[in-house]
Amino acid sequence: MTYIAFVRDNPRWLAGGFLLTFFSTFGMTSFVALSAGDIRRDYGLSHGEFGTLYMFATLASALSLPRLGQIVDRYSVQKVALFVVPMLALASASMALSQHLVVLFVTIYVLRLFGQGMMVHTAYTATARWFSAQRGRALSTVILGHNAGDAILPMGFVLIATSVGWRNGWLLAAAALALIAVPAIALLVAADRKPRSSDPAARQIDARDWTRAEVIRDPIFYVLLLGVMAPGLIVTTLFFHQVYLVELRGWSLEVFASSFLVTAMVNAAFTLVVGQLIDRFSGVSLLPFVLLPLGAACLLLGLVDAQWSAFGFMALLGISNGLSTTLFGAVWPEVYGLKHLGSIRALIVSAGVLASAIGPGLTGYLIDAGVSYPGQILAMGIYCFAISFVLLLASRRVRARSQVQTAPAVVGV
């Protein structure tokens, strides 16, 4: 089946997942950080103080995800969407209206919990269940929502905020979520996708259905989390301090914001390629390569002062995002099965959000302490290459374990 035919045969489920990831952009650090300078000014916060507030709000959302994320195993996708999308709209309105630090903290907590957390968690978990043999291309299609959001929403917000103010920009975000996202997503995911006779046979069988308690006791799980947490830690940190980097290098914020289009375009193209590779080779086989483009992106951004490096960084980041988001959406059923995927993925998403909570606060303090920010970026790149070797060993262990689990029993004669 060609990709176009695949999309034509499954439009509502792919579009529903796409819109969940598209509108989740409002809760992503890359979007929230566009208001970082205005927030620090209005609330009288330093880089380190705002980074700390953001870190603890995100940390609180990460701690909430393991319990809240289980609702994806218990309720229909439509019911979950009718809860999480309005909550993100409410948080966006609160960002526009907030005048107190406590309200700001709660606002960021809800933005992170329902934007980066629950909307993405719902989209990935539902898509993994709806599709089996074509899981890679289905996830790659849904993940295009991230690319479209990165291409359209940050630049649009910068233009709107310049014209009517950053708070009014957040009010418009809330209106878009309430008036467009809620009804569209609820309609599209109203029915769960069932297997069809026309679906191709699965290339491989997913792992047996592990319980969450079993997963927690599995050492491989924590090794894989090192890979999952790296993009959240690094990309969130870089985007959170993007205004500071622009000021440090003497770049134009408008030009930097336009570079998001580069990562979106590269991400979109590479996401579709990775989806095909996953369906052909498996997600586990691609694990050792997942962090290499991100490591190269960090080296480029840390070493080159010219503004063109932002576009090179964004291109490499597009490759990294296309690889990591699609891969980490597909690999978990191959390792732990489908039955308890929602509760297991809630732990994984929580770990990713936890990493994204640590990065901005820690880096903010290091900046305040006079530690070179480009030097910190270089250290992130070195981390990526080191963890890639660990993931190589982990992927071999997972494949060996799968072969043991699926090997036929030998009957004596």
Chain segment 371-387, per-residue pLDDT in tens: 999 999 999 999 999 99
Q: What is the pLDDT of residues 91-147, one digit of tens each?
A: 999 999 999 999 999 999 999 999 988 999 999 999 988 887 788 889 889 988 987
| Amino acid at the residue 311 | F
Task: Using the CB atoms, write b or e for 141-160: b if 16+ within 10 Å.
Answer: bbbbbbbbbbbebbbebbeb
Task: Tell me the CB-side half-sphere exposure of residue 146, using CA atoms within 13 A.
Answer: 32
pLDDT in tens, 3-12: 788 888 889 9
The answer to whether the beta carbons of residues 29 and 357 sit under 8 Å apart is no
pLDDT for residue 342 is more than 80: yes
What residues have CB less than 8 Å from 296, skipping those under 6 apart?
316, 381
pTM, whole model, 2 decimals? Answer: 0.77
Q: Mean pLDDT of all residues in the chain?
A: 86
- The rounded percent of the chain whose pLDDT value lies above 70 is 94
CATH of domain 9-191+209-406: 1.20.1250.20
pLDDT tens for 227-248 read: 888 988 898 888 888 888 888 8
The encoded tokens of residue 230 equal 């790296």
Q: What is the arithmetic mean of pLDDT over 268-285?
A: 84
CB 90 within 8 A of CB 174: yes
Cα–Cα distances (Å) from 299 to 249, 295, 374, in that order, read: 16, 6, 9
Q: Sketch the domain layout of the chain as residue ranges.
A: 9-191+209-406
> pLDDT tens for residues 176-223?
999 999 999 999 999 888 756 555 555 555 667 788 889 899 988 998
pLDDT one-digit tens code per residue, 20-31: 999 999 998 879
Helices (H) and strands (E) in the chain, counts: 22, 0
pLDDT band at 413 (very low <50, low <70, confident <90, very high): very low
More confident residue, 41 or 406: 41
Residue 412: pLDDT over 50: no
